[in-house]
Amino acid sequence: MMLLQRAHRAGGYVRWIWLVSAGTSGGFGIWATHFVAMLAYEASLVLGYEPSRTLLSLAISVTTTFLAVAVASLLTGRLAFIMAGILFGLGVSTMHFVGMTAIEFPGAIHWNATLVWSAILLAVLFSVPGFACVSLGRRSPKRLAAAASLLTLGVVSMHFTSMGGVVMTPMADSPLPSNLLSPALMVIVIATTALSLLFSVLAAALFASRSENATMAMNTRFRHLVQGVSDYAIYLLDPSGRVTNWNVGAQRMKGYADGEIVGKNFAVFYSEDERVNGAPEHALRTALATGKFETEGWRYRKDGTAFWASVVIDPIYDEHNDHIGFAKITRDCTEAKDSAARLLDVTNNLSIALNTMGHGIALFDANERLILHNELFREIIEFPRSLDIVGRTFHSLCYERFKTDQTGSHDADGLYEQHRALFMAPGGGETAREVASGRTIRTVHRPTGDGSFVMTLEDITARVDAEEKIRHLARHDALTGLANRHQFGERLDAAIETVSGSEKVAAICIDLDDFKEINDRYGHAMGDKVLYALASRMQKLMGEHEAVGRFGGDEFVAFKRFVQEKDLEDFIGRLFRALTERIVIDETEILPGASIGVSVYPSDAADREKLLNNADMAMYRSKAQPEQRISFYEAAMDEAARERRAMGRDLGVALEERQFFLVYQVQKSARTRETTGYEVLLRWRHPQRGLISPATFIPIAEECGLISPIGDWVLEEACREAVAWGLGHKIAVNLSPLQLGDVSLVDKVRSVLLRTGLPPSRLELEVTESAIIGDKGRALHILRQIRAMGVMIAIDDFGTGYSSLETLRVFPFDKIKLDRSFVNELDGRQSKAFIRAIVALGKSLDVTILAEGAETEEQLHVLVAEGCDEVQGFLFGRPCPIEALQDRSLNLPALTA
């Protein structure tokens, strides 16, 4: 029974050793018990034992005992110990009765059938529970003793019960075999065989025990190793996937205790979707088919949380190569996966950063070998993609670079030495080099502190070109390419500084005539082409000690260093011809013109600034006198310029000190001579100069930028006086072009009307067509908004400017004022025809026609005859302050102070 227990615990060939040992020792022991008992049976009739049947009984005993223990060990459940008990009981009984037939004596043996069957039944009844005591999984000293006792009872009860049913009947004439074994010989044979068998079984048992102990020790160590591993879940599965054991690492990783998971299918570690899709079964099939299944994926703990697992499943086979289950190892890789993901993100971000930065970058180790670079580095150096440059030295890369440029190797050596000096320097350095392709590459070397260095490349071709262009633009005009103000000034200074003896320098200022009309008529693009063509003409005719430049717009400058006056005249003549000859651009013929002013160093000025200013004044003199297109500077021009500047300063003071005042000129109906309104006129009483004509100070105010604040004052003062003095008629206020271009004019008119209380219908604003034509769209938009308030809009000086019918078409003016020059020439046929045409136009447009400058009754009669609606002039009164209107008998309504 002890050997059977060993066989239960063992496996493989060791189990069979234990089973053979148990069968041999147990069977021989029972057989020896039988024959020792027979030898002790003192029957004088027994003469010996027949050998063949004696040995057959021994074989039966050993064989049936072996079969019984084998069945008990190999089978499971109740069937195992029942069959083992039956085999053992029947085997002992068969051995006993076969052994009894081997006894030889002179007579015959008779059996009591009842006792014989009782003996067999007792043997089986005691053997079955005996084997049940040591069945698989039941191990204890008490059970071992109980099992041995029950089997002993079965053997003894069978033996003595069967012996009680023996009847030996002597027979005198019974023959005896000649080969009988005497009892003495049987004692020797049994003793010898017993000792030999004992030693053999002990030897086999010892060998098996040592092997088993070694296996158990190894299994124990392995179990301790597996159970002690806490970072890995290591467990076994049966062939169907149920968990059969569980280590500490599995419990820590998955949260299940040993008793909670053993016997359950390992599919509980998968998600519901994976279980539905058969992922666990697929894993086992793959492991069985290929010898190993490896994967990574999400697995789930007892509490439902997920972790990223690395899983390995190996099939397990016994010594007969029969599949007995699977070994499964699981490792929690969540942190590693997160780290790998973070590393991948960092790597990807680094790659993105490197490959999207605007510089080529490369990292070289302490041996000057390239270990990292971005794609822009390769592109800038123009290495082919087929060339693997990682691991190559900087020196070899220099050779490859110049191989690409198809230049000599000595240049590569020079480049290498130049760059080596930079990256060997403590703080690194940089250099810029133009390569064979015409590009300029900026290279920066920065040491990292451990002998390696970082090299960055930047294609600065565009920057260099832009800087060159900026340098060119800083000294040249962008449109024409001529010298700009800065460069021209430098060259003129150099010319002045280098004059010697009788040499002189003439500065020439040029302004194109009617250039605005070219822009308005043909567009600014055509104007630019005209400027470029004229600049090209002038540039081509420049000779030694001559230069031309452009200051902006249609303003050009030139200078000539000369000795003889005829040289200067020749230069001016060449310039004038270049500026006045016809130009054909895009099949359009244009006849340009120019006004030229000349100032000479040192007679007219002592420095460059003064020289140019004087030439500019001479040029404006040419502008003012169309018949004289070339003017030389005269001292009187300076006096006039100083006068204008002084008056400009006084205008600012005049506005602050209220030196301006308003006068009013009455406007009458041409037929009834009834008053229809008053035109507001501005006057200036200077403290020293007295009254100054508007024709004198208005242009100066426009030049110095004071016309807008003066115009705003006139508008508000006129409205205030009209309300304060109770004028019941309209007042007409002139708007300057600068006021009309101001987008805030609408708000100003509205606020003035609100502050003064003047009804909008009593205000009339007069504008000239030249004020509109500058920015026609904006001006007409502003006028529409003002007219929408109820303010009337009149077009002034009609007939002297553009007199464009288009302007009358696109804006519904309330009044057209004919210029006084037509009234002054009423005796001429053309003036009458013009007036007649304008009156007809006004009638068709339902616009009032007012004629200015009526001074005589004859002029009035003609204007009435031609159909004019209103008149204004000295015939009805000169302009006067509003308070003086009370003393005039001009059909005025009663005034209030």
pLDDT tens digits along 343-394: 777 777 777 777 777 788 888 888 888 888 887 777 777 777 777 788 888 8
CA dist 199 and 785 (Å) reads 134
| Highest mean pLDDT out of 386-400, 529-543, 611-625, 645-659 | 529-543
* Residue predicted with more confidence, 581 or 74: 581
Give CA separation, 670 vs 574, 667, 798, in Å.
57, 9, 18
Residue 472 phi, psi (nearest 5):
-65, -45
pLDDT greater than 60 at residue 405? no
* Residue predicted with more confidence, 472 or 757: 757
């035109």: which residue's tokens?
679
pLDDT digits (tens, 9 = 90+) for 224-245: 555 556 678 888 899 889 998 8
Q: Are 637 and 621 in contact (CB under 8 A)?
A: yes
Q: Are 423 and 447 in contact (CB under 8 A)?
A: yes
pLDDT category, 887, cuts 50, 70, 90? low
Q: Are 330 and 310 in contact (CB under 8 A)?
A: yes
The arithmetic mean of pLDDT across residues 576-580, rounded, is 91
pLDDT digits (tens, 9 = 90+) for 514-540: 888 888 888 888 999 999 999 999 999
pLDDT category, 337, cuts 50, 70, 90? confident
**Side-chain half-sphere exposure of 65, counting CA atoms within 13 A:** 27
pLDDT category, 441, cuts 50, 70, 90? confident
Q: At what angle do helices 78-101 and 51-74 cross, to 10 degrees?
A: 180
Residue 263 phi, psi (nearest 5):
95, -15
Q: Are 481 and 535 in contact (CB under 8 A)?
A: yes
Short-list 685, 681, 754, 752, CA closest to 712: 752
CA dist 65 and 7 (Å) reads 14
Task: Give the bridge partners for 509, in sequence order.
Answer: 557, 597
CA dist 811 and 597 (Å) reads 41
* Extended beta strands in 92-216, E state: 103-104, 107-111, 166-170
Q: Are 890 and 729 in contact (CB under 8 A)?
A: no
CB-count burial class (<10 Å; 0-12, 13-18, 19+) for 44: exposed
Checking 69-77 for CB contacts under 8 A at 24+ apart, the result is 69/3, 69/4, 69/7, 69/19, 69/22, 69/23, 69/26, 70/19, 70/23, 72/4, 72/131, 72/134, 72/135, 73/4, 73/7, 73/8, 73/15, 73/19, 73/136, 76/136
Rg of the chain over CA atoms, in angstroms? Answer: 66
pLDDT at 726: 80
Short-list 323, 320, 293, 298, CA closest to 309: 298
CA dist 678 and 730 (Å) reads 6
pLDDT at 547: 94
pLDDT greater than 60 at residue 45? no
Residue 444 phi, psi (nearest 5):
-125, 130
CA dist 289 and 521 (Å) reads 92
The arithmetic mean of pLDDT across residues 54-61, rounded, is 85
Of 537-551, 753-767, 769-783, 831-845, the poorest mean pLDDT is in: 769-783
Instruction: Give CA angle at 551 (545, 557), nearest 5°.
Output: 35
pLDDT at 801: 58
The arithmetic mean of pLDDT across residues 723-740, rounded, is 86
Task: Give the bridge partners for 433, in sequence order.
Answer: 441
Question: For strand 166-170 and strand 232-237, is the pairing parallel, antiparallel, or unpaired?
Answer: unpaired
Q: Which residues have C-beta within 8 Å of that of residue 173, sequence separation ≥ 6?
A: none
The arithmetic mean of pLDDT across residues 44-55, rounded, is 69
- Left, alpha or beta for 590 (phi > 0: left; psi -120 to 50: alpha)? beta
pLDDT greater than 90 at residue 606? no
pLDDT greater than 70 at residue 427? no
* Residue predicted with more confidence, 285 or 341: 285
pLDDT greater than 80 at residue 762? yes
Is residue 844 classed as helix, strand or coil in its secondary structure?
A: helix
pLDDT greater than 50 at residue 410? no
pLDDT digits (tens, 9 = 90+) for 453-464: 888 888 888 888
pLDDT at 635: 65
Residue 478 phi, psi (nearest 5):
-65, -35
DSSP 446: E
pLDDT category, 895, cuts 50, 70, 90? very low
* Extended beta strands in 16-115, E state: 48-49, 103-104, 107-111
CA dist 661 and 648 (Å) reads 18
pLDDT greater than 50 at residue 568? yes
């009617």: which residue's tokens?
514
pLDDT category, 713, cuts 50, 70, 90? very high
CA dist 85 and 807 (Å) reads 134
CA dist 402 and 413 (Å) reads 10
CA dihedral 369, 373, 379, 385 (to 10 degrees): 70
Of 98-112, 495-509, 586-600, 872-886, the poorest mean pLDDT is in: 98-112
Q: What is the DSSP string of 125-158?
A: HHHHHHHHHTSTT---HHHHHHHHHHHHHHHHHH
Give CA separation, 476 vs 115, 533, 539, 543, in Å.
143, 16, 13, 19
pLDDT greater than 50 at residue 890? no
Of 31-35, 422-426, 558-562, the poorest mean pLDDT is in: 422-426
pLDDT at 539: 92
- Evaluate the CA torsion angle 687, 693, 696, 698 in order and state its sign: positive
